[in-house]
């Protein structure tokens, strides 16, 4: 049994072949953290808890001065009665105070994993076991459930908390964290993924220091500024070795992720909805479900962590219909046209696209209302007849006739002040009475907490999708939330709107994606502004960044790969000079970069020379032949971007392997570089496609390959091997 309760030690042992997690019950009341790491065959309790009479410590049992909540390693914080570390929850009683006293009550272990009402979560029915620990506050009749699901095949555990009011008075949740955990050590580095629009997902590594280190979003979305993720790693941990304890929140709104290195050298970790600007009124018999956190343990460094995330998200998070389905090579119209669209020009672009082998033609922004720039028409999802006289139907038909799928851009959550929708429904924008409406990109945000707005969006999208002519939707979202208030809800509920917005969004996505499971949805928020596991539950891929420059993308995609596999990261070959940074990079390099994500193009193919078009055609043919490797193979980082922006990675599956090395900036004093593959099957034989030379996997892993000198910026070296199925074949044959 993967989860067991030991009556003697009063411990729950959550155990699979790769990982153990141990929870204790202390004094029949307090739920403690006892162990997390490499799998243990059994747990008896050699790592006894420390009980010392410490200065300033308060004691729940007055005579027992060595026992204090202030130092006990806990699985949830306590509130107002002695645990002075960061708090995971806070509940305001009608009497005005925020004291609670939750005691362990009982537990339940069952096979499987329950879905969370209204929230996305990791999907699993088999090979998982769930432990639910119930705590009760008998003064106010409140309940807290700590829910743990252990995967049998991955060193992965999911955690969440549920707060229930079984009393007679409404209480107010002022903080409803998803999880809290006290690790007994502190010699960790903290890893986070940070950035900004067009510069997402930079890995930051810093030593944890006394006090609190926190990352957060109060922008209404998970944001490009920080991933809802953190990892604690041993100081020696690298891509290839060492312990990693990683946490990723399955949520798309305001979040907090924080660690506290406390006075006696232990480390508290917490993740959940951000408590600022948040409140939830919990009436009698109501419960509040918090978003889930994925806890990922690796003893094989950061590549090990990424393998766990990649497999979990591809197999258990994205919509089931898409987990094994190949993705089409697309051409997106944005950078070629911006808002200047005409049916004639688009059809010409589509014809060119079809002629080189593009499989999906995506019409981006600009096709509706009076959308001639980004200052109007959001909400008026009616085709502009001047641009498209035969409507979406006419263009879609033409694209289909050319043998491609057809995709369309929407930004459903937004409303322009200059729109018919705003004339008709000014109350549908998020707003606070008497205060000005702050615009971003000259647009406002629809109040998705309202059911009438949700219904309107469901009906609008359904009308387009039910024609059967749209095979793909790009769901964009280009600003953050301000004046987060709603006419629909009472004054006392205004601090609930941030979370209600996210619940409304999830409801719309749930209805639409279930109704149209075969439509491919691409998540976008000015690129990676809302690239989080919550959105990936509904949409299996994301436009990774509005920065399409190959060099910048090598850093951004490298960063996102810590959490997401390449198939989830939209990556397009765009024109040169690049529109965001003005850089010229070789078409070949742009191709390899885009193939290292979810492959597509975003330029006017008609402007390319015959030689360039031939390269594009070759890229498409190559990608089609190796799509299984790029989309479903294993992806490993081999070299992080250095000061000259050189970086490299490896794709491998049962049949073949491709290593890609970007040289970044060329330099005269080139260091000698052997690129080691690390992750090929050591006993297998690999034949280099270009030379037919055969090598053992062990040799390629350990001796590596020489990176030849090329006097050119942004050059790419690609090494491609076929795996020879019979490992007894001699290396020299």
Cβ 600 to ligand DGJ shortest distance, Å: 11
Q: Which is nearer to ligand DGJ, 10 or 197 (CB)?
A: 197
82, 180, 580, 640 from 706: Cα distances, Å: 60, 47, 33, 17
Q: Which of 182, 364, 532, 546 is catalytic?
A: 546
147, 174, 291 from 288: Cα distances, Å: 13, 12, 10
Q: Which is nearer to ligand DGJ, 177 or 328 (CB)?
A: 328
- Please give the Cα distance from 316 to 156 (Å, whole number): 12
Q: Which residues pair with 331 in a beta bridge?
A: 361, 601
Q: Which is nearer to ligand DGJ, 26 or 374 (CB)?
A: 374
Q: Which is nearer to ligand DGJ, 398 or 476 (CB)?
A: 476
483, 595, 689 from 723: Cα distances, Å: 58, 20, 10
- Please give the Cα distance from 79 to 457 (Å, whole number): 41
Query: How many helices (H) and strands (E) in the chain?
Result: 13, 38
Cβ 538 to ligand DGJ shortest distance, Å: 18
- Please give the Cα distance from 154 to 145 (Å, whole number): 24
Q: Report residue 653 as tokens.
A: 């599956």
Cα 692 versus chain centre, distance? 40
Q: Which is nearer to ligand DGJ, 137 or 476 (CB)?
A: 476
Other beta carbons less than 10 A from residue 15's beta carbon: 22
Cβ 556 to ligand DGJ shortest distance, Å: 13
Q: Which is nearer to ligand DGJ, 369 or 697 (CB)?
A: 369
Cβ 396 to ligand DGJ shortest distance, Å: 18
Cβ 411 to ligand DGJ shortest distance, Å: 7
Four-residue CA torsion sign, 516, 508, 249, 409: positive
In degrees and rounded to multiples of 5, residue 536 shows phi and psi of: -65, -20
Q: Which residue is nearest to ligand DGJ (CB)?
A: 365
Q: Which of 182, 380, 471, 476 is catalytic?
A: 476
Q: Which is nearer to ligand DGJ, 259 or 481 (CB)?
A: 481
Cβ 576 to ligand DGJ shortest distance, Å: 18
Of the candidates 217, 204, 200, the residue with the CA atom closest to the CA atom of residue 256: 217
Q: What is the DSSP string of 302-371?
A: HHHHHHHHHHHHHHHTS-GGGSSPPPPPEEESHHHHTT---HHHHHHHHHHHHHHT--EEEE-S--BTT-
Task: Reply yes or no on whether 510 is catalytic.
Answer: no
Cβ density class 156-168: b for 16+ within 10 Å, e for less: bbbbbbbbbbebe
Q: For 609, how many CA atoms within 13 A lie in the half-sphere containing its CB?
A: 3
Q: Which is nearer to ligand DGJ, 527 or 533 (CB)?
A: 527
Four-residue CA torsion sign, 392, 398, 400, 405: negative
Cβ 215 to ligand DGJ shortest distance, Å: 23
SS3 category, 338: coil
| Residue reference for tokens 């109040």 | 447
Cβ 331 to ligand DGJ shortest distance, Å: 13
In degrees and rounded to multiples of 5, residue 571 shows phi and psi of: -145, 125
Of the candidates 545, 548, 427, 440, the residue with the CA atom closest to the CA atom of residue 488: 427
| Residue reference for tokens 């091997």 | 721
Residues that bind ligand DGJ (CB under 6 A): 334, 364-365, 374, 409, 476, 478, 524, 526-527, 543, 546
- Please give the Cα distance from 468 to 446 (Å, whole number): 27
Task: Reply yes or no on whether 83 is catalytic.
Answer: no
What's the CA dihedral at 598, 600, 602, 603 to 10 degrees?
A: 150
Cβ 256 to ligand DGJ shortest distance, Å: 26
Q: Which is nearer to ligand DGJ, 302 or 552 (CB)?
A: 552
Query: Could you check whether the bond before residue 167 is cis, i.e. omega within 30 degrees of 0?
Result: no
Residues that are catalytic: 476, 546
């Amino acid at each position: 049994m993967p989860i067991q309760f030991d009556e003697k030690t009063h411990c729950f042992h959550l155990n699979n072949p790769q990982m153990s997690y141990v929870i204790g019950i202390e004094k029949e009341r307090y739920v403690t953290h006892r162990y997390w790491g490499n799998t243990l065959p059994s747990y008896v309790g050699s790592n006894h808890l420390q009980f010392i009479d410490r200065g300033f410590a308060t004691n729940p049992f007055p005579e027992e001065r060595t026992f204090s909540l202030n130092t006990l390693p806990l699985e949830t914080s306590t509130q107002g009665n002695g645990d002075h570390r960061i708090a995971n929850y806070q509940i305001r009683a009608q009497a005005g105070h925020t004291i609670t006293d939750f005691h362990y009550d009982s537990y339940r272990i069952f096979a499987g994993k329950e879905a969370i009402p209204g929230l996305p979560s990791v999907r699993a029915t088999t090979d998982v076991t769930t432990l639910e620990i119930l705590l009760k506050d008998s003064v106010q009749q409140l309940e807290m459930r700590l829910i743990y699901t252990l995967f049998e095949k991955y060193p992965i555990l999911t955690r969440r908390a549920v707060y229930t009011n079984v009393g007679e008075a409404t209480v107010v949740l002022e903080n409803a964290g998803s999880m809290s955990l006290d690790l007994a050590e502190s010699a960790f580095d903290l890893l986070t993924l940070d950035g900004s629009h067009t510069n997402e997902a930079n890995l930051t590594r810093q030593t944890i220091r006394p006090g609190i280190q926190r990352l957060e979003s109060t922008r209404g979305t998970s944001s490009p500024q920080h991933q809802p993720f953190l990892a604690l790693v041993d100081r020696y941990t690298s891509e290839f070795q060492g312990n990693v304890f990683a946490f990723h929140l399955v949520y798309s709104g305001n979040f907090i992720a924080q660690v506290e290195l406390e006075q006696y050298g232990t480390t508290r970790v917490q993740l959940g909805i951000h408590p600022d600007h948040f409140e939830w009124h919990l009436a009698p018999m109501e419960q509040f479900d918090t978003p889930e956190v994925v806890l990922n343990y690796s003893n094989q460094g950061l590549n090990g962590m990424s393998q766990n995330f990649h497999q979990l998200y591809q197999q258990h998070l994205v919509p089931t219909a898409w987990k094994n389905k190949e993705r089409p090579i697309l051409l997106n119209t944005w950078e070629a046209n911006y808002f200047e669209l005409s049916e004639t020009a688009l059809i010409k672009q589509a014809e060119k696209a079809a002629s080189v082998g593009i499989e999906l033609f995506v019409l981006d922004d600009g096709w509706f209302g009076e959308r001639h720039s980004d200052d109007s028409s959001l909400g008026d999802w009616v085709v502009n007849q001047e641009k498209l006289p035969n409507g979406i139907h006419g263009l879609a038909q033409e694209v289909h006739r050319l043998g491609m799928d057809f995709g369309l851009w929407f930004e459903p959550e937004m409303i322009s002040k200059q729109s018919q929708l705003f004339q008709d429904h000014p109350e549908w924008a998020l707003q606070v009475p008497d205060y000005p409406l702050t615009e971003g990109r000259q647009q406002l945000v629809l109040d998705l907490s309202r059911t009438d707005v949700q219904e309107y969006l469901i009906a609008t999208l359904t009308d387009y999708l039910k024609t059967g002519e749209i095979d793909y939707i790009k769901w964009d979202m280009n600003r953050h939330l301000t004046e987060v208030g709603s006419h629909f809800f009472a004054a006392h509920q205004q601090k609930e709107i941030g979370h209600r917005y996210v619940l409304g969004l999830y409801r719309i996505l749930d209805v639409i994606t279930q109704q149209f499971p075969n439509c491919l949805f691409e998540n976008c928020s000015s690129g990676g502004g809302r690239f989080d596991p919550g959105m990936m539950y509904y949409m299996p891929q994301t436009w990774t960044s509005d920065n399409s420059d190959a060099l910048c993308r090598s850093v951004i995609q490298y960063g996102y790969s810590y959490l997401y596999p390449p198939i989830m990261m939209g990556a397009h070959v765009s024109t040169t000079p690049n529109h965001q940074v003005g850089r010229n990079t070789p078409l070949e390099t742009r191709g390899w970069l885009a193939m290292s994500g979810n492959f597509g193009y975003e330029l006017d193919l008609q402007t390319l020379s015959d030689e360039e078009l031939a390269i594009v055609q070759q890229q498409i043919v190559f990608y089609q032949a190796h799509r299984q490797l790029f989309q479903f193979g294993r992806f490993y980082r081999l070299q992080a971007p250095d000061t000259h922006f050189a970086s490299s990675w490896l794709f491998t599956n049962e049949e073949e392997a491709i290593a890609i090395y970007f040289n970044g900036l060329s330099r005269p004093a080139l260091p000698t570089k052997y690129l080691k593959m690390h992750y090929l099957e050591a006993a297998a034989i690999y034949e280099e496609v270009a030379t037919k030379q055969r090598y053992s996997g062990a040799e390629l892993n350990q001796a590596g390959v020489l990176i030849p000198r090329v006097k050119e910026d942004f050059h790419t070296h690609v090494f491609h091997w076929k795996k020879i199925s019979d490992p007894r074949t001699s290396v020299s044959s």
